[in-house]
Chain A
Amino acid sequence: MEQKKKKTSSAKTLQTAREAGNFGKRILASARLAAEEGKPVAWSMVDWWLGGTIAKAIGIELCYPENYGAFCAAVRKAEPFLDYAENDGVPNTTCGYARNGIGYTRRLKENNFIIPEDAPGGGMPKPLFLLGCGAVCDARYKWFQSMGRYMDVPVWTLEFPQTGVAEFFMPGYKEENIKFMVRELRSFVEFLEKLTGRKMDWDNLSERLDTTFKTHELAHKVDLLRKSVPSPAVNTDFWAIMIPHLYLPDDKEALAFYQRVYEEVKYKVDNKIGAIPNEKYRMAFAELPPWHTLGIFDEFAAKHGIAFAIESWNYHAPSPLPESEREGVNDPLELIARYSFHKFNEYTPTAQLNCMDPTIFTAPYLKWVEDYRIDGLFCHPLLSCRPATYTLMHLRNLLMEKCKVPSVVVEGDIVDLRVFNEEEAHVKIEAFIETMDHYREIRKKEGFEW
């Protein structure tokens, strides 16, 4: 019998999305080149533009173990690193990206910091320091601290306050948060200056910031266009095009790239060209994807006409910083702090309206289901990323209670493909179609707009 070989990656529907992979490769290649030339390189967590831009402005090249984890998973080469980290005592329940990074670092050390020949994507060079971050998850700083163990390099943790919904609205609370972030960023600049012996290039920083705002504005406009029916782009497109805005938004090439993304998506909207041929259902996806099996979304589209219209809150660029927040702010560090804080709290009014916590990972979806006319939520609880999983049950309850939007749960992992059961996912989606139909009727009866 002829065996059909399963496709693991997605074909992507946007031409620009197909080109976006180059950015990921470029990040790694630039870091290696910098290391060869004796320039400083650091490993950074995604920090929602808090510290990365600052480090780059002082002349440090960055690469991202988190993205490297996703890359190793996508090419199905993460397992040996996972095993190698576990073998040193790191629990197999910790973040898959972290174990991938720890396993990689352990191998790098044993190879006298010469990148192993078989390192996926060419590998990451030894860093001068590690840039952790307090946003979103404990792994973001504990993982980096634990990696320092193999390299004897300093770790800096960027503070990121995590506010409650009611507290956010307390008098003066927000400004205290910003003040704290700015002070922390100043200490970070001092740390960098001491470590590199260089002086901060403030003009360069302001310029980078300016580019970041422009890139993000375009990324945000693309998100707005995606509200159109039929959906002009889907989740697999987004997970490709997000690389430049998440990691390189301050890069002129990323800005130019986003201009093209915007034009491509706009053209599709203007001409009512859907990303998938026969859109029947619009779903949202929470939160991190199964990188190793993205092709499954193409199958859902082909089989059931499901367009994933919006996904992964945490990866999206925020709406532009309101003018009122920029007015009179000349310190680039303050602008950075305000912008990052804005990313995490712009949906707090939605949370307040619904009497719920938290804003992060939860409130955006309450708004999105209406804006994007969502029929159902695909929940992807992860074996190894708890922070993006903790609130999924809560989110399901809220969507059902407040918006009559049902959800389907398919367990898996970002890196560990052994725990993702494709057949089961197909069976569940098949059954879920009827549920979505049912709740469409209910929403209609109850006077919802979609």
Chain B
Amino acid sequence: MNELKGLARAAQIYLDPQQRARELKAEGKKIAGYLCCYPPVEIMTALGYVPIRILGDMNEPITEADAYLPTVMCAFYRSILDVAMKGRYDFLDAFIGAHACDGAERVSYIWRSYLKSPCSFYLDVPHSNHAAAIDFFKVQLNYLKDELEKTSGCNFSQEALREAVKLYNKQRSLVRSLYKLNRQDPPLVSGSEMLQVMVSIMCIPAEEGNSLLEEVIEEVSNRSAGPGQKKGRILIWGSLIDNIAMTKLIEDCGLNIVIDDTAIGTRSFWVDVDETSDPFEGLAVRYLDKIVCPRTFRDTKGTRSEDLDNRFKYLKIMAKEWNVNGVYFNIIRNCDIHGYEIPEVRDYFEDIGIPVLVIEQDYSTTALEPLRTRFQAFAENIG
């Protein structure tokens, strides 16, 4: 079964992202599930845990979660609790919740009230990148380490953590290399293929993920038939996408997804951890300051336009380097973090002449079809 390689292997893992973790568990490994991009996978790995990103399921109607969460919350996090209540993550040895946004925070709490695992930790992530916040976050990471160590069956060592930092930095650099292949026109990797790879590497051990990435890079670098040229080259910004039903719909409408700034995409991989003498220092800075997500407040800088550059310049750079001619704002309904940001990011792109399509979607494959005409119109518009 594991003879599949590269994109085919990614497609296989994507179909049942937790399968590899369940296999490893059967072999005696410990599995840690975590929410969002803020709990450092390096710490889990250094303590012998296999970290896996907890995902929702756009195909699964939300039924169980209704008894625990109101319908007015982000459907991605509702879906996460729903599939968890249905037993999908029952095999976890550790659950790491995080205060990424209100949704993530409250679901972390409610998850812990009903679903018990041998180890459980709620990681408080400060709201800003202030110096005191980074120091506080570093302390939090040490508590996370202490808590995981209690059940890991192995002792923590700085050396193992340094190794883990190297391992994941390598993964990040491979991810960046893969995305770079999409700078050309037509791009070499479709948005759906990219998403399958991203989901896969978040759900298997880092070494396996790195091999998978190397295979994919080699495969697509030599391919003759990639996604082909479509009407527009777009960047996706906003709430995460973890299901290819969404990317396929966009691509079917005549758009190449060449780059993204979303949480199951570049946002989780774009920047490295500095190899500092105290590895917790590098981790705290990377996760709290260097990851650029609108959930982290950055102090107002100078004039309004200087401030906007301080917050969003990386998007301008991405748009230029990947030569995009349109941006899709993917907003999962009730996602406040991205919701409040819409007018500013929209104006920021439109000021540099890049049109924007904003869609609030319901994180459900059955609710996608009505969006088709809007993507088609956007493709016509920018094509």
Among A95, A138, A146, A382, the one with the most B-chain Cβ atoms within 10 Å of its Cβ is A138
Tell me if B106 is interfacial: C-beta within 8 Å of chain A. yes
- The stretch of B40-48, B123-131, B155-163, B275-283 in contact with A is B123-131
Q: Known: A138-B102, A167-B143, A356-B113. Is A159-B132 also a contact (CB below 8 A)?
A: yes
- The stretch of A200-208, A294-302, A390-398 in contact with B is A390-398
Q: Contact at B143–A146, with CB atoms within 8 Å?
A: no
Q: Contact at B102–A390, with CB atoms within 8 Å?
A: yes
Tell me if B101 is interfacial: C-beta within 8 Å of chain A. yes
In the complex, what residues of A have CB within 8 A of residue B139's CB? Answer: 176, 180
In the complex, what residues of B have CB within 8 A of residue A389's CB? Answer: 70, 72-73
- The stretch of A86-94, A212-220, A240-248, A316-324 in contact with B is A86-94
In the A-B complex, list the 10 residue pairs whose CB atoms are closest, starting with the nearest: A164-B122, A357-B109, A183-B132, A134-B127, A180-B136, A142-B340, A154-B300, A358-B109, A390-B106, A89-B343
Q: Contact at A141–B127, with CB atoms within 8 Å?
A: yes
Q: Contact at B300–A134, with CB atoms within 8 Å?
A: no
> Which residues 383-421 of A sit at the B interface, judged by CB distance below 8 A?
383-384, 386-387, 389-394, 397-398
In the complex, what residues of B have CB within 8 A of residue A345's CB? Answer: none
Q: Would you give the shortest CB distance from A161 to chain B, in whole angstroms?
A: 5
In the complex, what residues of A have CB within 8 A of residue B303's CB? Answer: 152
Tell me if A98 is interfacial: C-beta within 8 Å of chain B. yes
A-B contact sample (11 more), CB < 8 A, given A141-B297, A161-B136, A179-B136: A90-B342, A91-B339, A91-B342, A93-B333, A142-B340, A154-B299, A156-B300, A166-B122, A180-B135, A390-B110, A393-B69
Q: Contact at B126–A386, with CB atoms within 8 Å?
A: no
Q: Would you give the shortest CB distance from A160 to chain B, in whole angstroms?
A: 8
Could you jot down 8 A-B contacts, CB within 8 Å?
A: A137-B102, A149-B304, A159-B128, A161-B126, A180-B136, A357-B110, A390-B110, A398-B113
State A398–B72 Cα separation when bound (angstroms). Answer: 20
Q: Contact at A397–B67, with CB atoms within 8 Å?
A: yes
Q: Contact at B73–A173, with CB atoms within 8 Å?
A: no
In the complex, what residues of A have CB within 8 A of residue B360's CB? Answer: 91, 93
Q: Contact at B130–A392, with CB atoms within 8 Å?
A: no
Tell me if A157 is interfacial: C-beta within 8 Å of chain B. yes
> Which residues 50-96 of A sit at the B interface, judged by CB distance below 8 A?
88-91, 93-95
B101: nearest chain-A partner, CB-CB? A138
Q: Would you give the shortest CB distance from A97 to chain B, in whole angstroms?
A: 12
In the complex, what residues of B have CB within 8 A of residue A163's CB? Answer: 122, 124
A143: nearest chain-B partner, CB-CB? B340
Tell me if B99 is interfacial: C-beta within 8 Å of chain A. yes
In the complex, what residues of B have CB within 8 A of residue A40's CB? Answer: none
A354: nearest chain-B partner, CB-CB? B113
Q: A106-128 interface mask toward B, CB cutoff 8 Å, 1 = contact, 0 = none?
A: 00000000000000000000000
Tell me if A353 is interfacial: C-beta within 8 Å of chain B. no
State A248–B133 Cα separation when bound (angstroms). Answer: 29
Q: Contact at A91–B331, with CB atoms within 8 Å?
A: yes
In the complex, what residues of A have CB within 8 A of residue B85's CB? Answer: none
Q: B280-298 interface mask toward A, CB cutoff 8 Å, 1 = contact, 0 = none?
A: 0000000000000011010
In the complex, what residues of B have CB within 8 A of residue A137's CB? Answer: 102, 336
State A149–B347 Cα separation when bound (angstroms). Answer: 11
Q: Contact at A166–B120, with CB atoms within 8 Å?
A: yes
Tell me if B215 is interfacial: C-beta within 8 Å of chain A. no
Q: Contact at B124–A161, with CB atoms within 8 Å?
A: yes
Q: A142-156 interface mask toward B, CB cutoff 8 Å, 1 = contact, 0 = none?
A: 110110110011111
State A264–B303 Cα separation when bound (angstroms). Answer: 52
Q: Contact at B130–A159, with CB atoms within 8 Å?
A: yes
Tell me if A355 is interfacial: C-beta within 8 Å of chain B. yes
In the complex, what residues of B have CB within 8 A of residue A149's CB? Answer: 304, 343-344
Q: Contact at A386–B73, with CB atoms within 8 Å?
A: yes
Tell me if A371 is interfacial: C-beta within 8 Å of chain B. no
Chain B residues within CB distance 8 Å of chain A: 66-70, 72-73, 97, 99, 101-103, 105-106, 108-110, 112-113, 120-122, 124, 126-128, 130-133, 135-136, 139, 143, 146-147, 294-295, 297, 299-300, 303-304, 307, 331, 333-334, 336-337, 339-344, 346, 358, 360
Q: Contact at B122–A159, with CB atoms within 8 Å?
A: no
Among B72, B126, B133, the one with the most A-chain Cβ atoms within 10 Å of its Cβ is B72
A392: nearest chain-B partner, CB-CB? B70
Q: Known: A159-B130, A176-B139, A393-B70. Is A386-B339 also a contact (CB below 8 A)?
A: no
Q: Contact at A393–B68, with CB atoms within 8 Å?
A: yes
In the complex, what residues of B have CB within 8 A of residue A153's CB? Answer: 300
B295: nearest chain-A partner, CB-CB? A138
In the complex, what residues of B have CB within 8 A of residue A90's CB? Answer: 339-340, 342-343
Interface residues on A, range: 35 or more
State A238–B328 Cα separation when bound (angstroms). Answer: 46
In the complex, what residues of A have CB within 8 A of residue B307's CB? Answer: 148
Tell me if A370 is interfacial: C-beta within 8 Å of chain B. no
Neighbour of A386 across the interface among B68, B102, B109, CB < 8 A: B102
A168: nearest chain-B partner, CB-CB? B122
Among B121, B127, B139, B341, the one with the most A-chain Cβ atoms within 10 Å of its Cβ is B127
Tell me if A139 is interfacial: C-beta within 8 Å of chain B. yes
State A149–B70 Cα separation when bound (angstroms). Answer: 31
Among B132, B135, B146, the one with the most A-chain Cβ atoms within 10 Å of its Cβ is B132
Q: Would you give the shortest CB distance from B312 to chain A, in whole angstroms?
A: 12
Q: Known: A149-B304, A159-B127. Is A95-B70 also a contact (CB below 8 A)?
A: no
B305: nearest chain-A partner, CB-CB? A152
A130: nearest chain-B partner, CB-CB? B300
In the complex, what residues of B have CB within 8 A of residue A278's CB? Answer: none
Neighbour of A164 across the interface among B124, B294, B331, CB < 8 A: B124
Q: Contact at B72–A386, with CB atoms within 8 Å?
A: yes
In the complex, what residues of A have CB within 8 A of residue B69's CB? Answer: 390, 393-394
State A90–B358 Cα separation when bound (angstroms). Answer: 11
Q: Would you give the shortest CB distance from A244 to chain B, in whole angstroms?
A: 28
Neighbour of A167 across the interface among B106, B122, B337, CB < 8 A: B122
State A356–B110 Cα separation when bound (angstroms). Answer: 8
Tell me if A279 is interfacial: C-beta within 8 Å of chain B. no
Q: Contact at A394–B110, with CB atoms within 8 Å?
A: yes
In the complex, what residues of B have CB within 8 A of residue A156's CB? Answer: 299-300
In the complex, what residues of B have CB within 8 A of residue A155's CB? Answer: 297, 300
> Which residues 356-385 of A sit at the B interface, judged by CB distance below 8 A?
356-358, 381-384
Q: Known: A157-B297, A161-B126, A164-B97. Is A358-B106 also a contact (CB below 8 A)?
A: yes
State A153–B97 Cα separation when bound (angstroms). Answer: 35
Q: Would you give the shortest CB distance from B73 to chain A, in whole angstroms?
A: 5
Among B103, B133, B139, B336, the one with the most A-chain Cβ atoms within 10 Å of its Cβ is B336
State A357–B68 Cα separation when bound (angstroms). Answer: 13
In the complex, what residues of A have CB within 8 A of residue B131's CB? Answer: 187
A93: nearest chain-B partner, CB-CB? B334
State A145–B143 Cα separation when bound (angstroms). Answer: 31
A379: nearest chain-B partner, CB-CB? B70
Q: Would you give the shortest CB distance from B77 to chain A, in whole angstroms?
A: 9
Q: Would you give the shortest CB distance from B84 to chain A, in whole angstroms?
A: 14
Tell me if A184 is interfacial: C-beta within 8 Å of chain B. yes
Q: Contact at A142–B336, with CB atoms within 8 Å?
A: yes
State A149–B312 Cα separation when bound (angstroms). Answer: 14
In the complex, what residues of A have CB within 8 A of residue B133's CB? Answer: 159, 180, 184
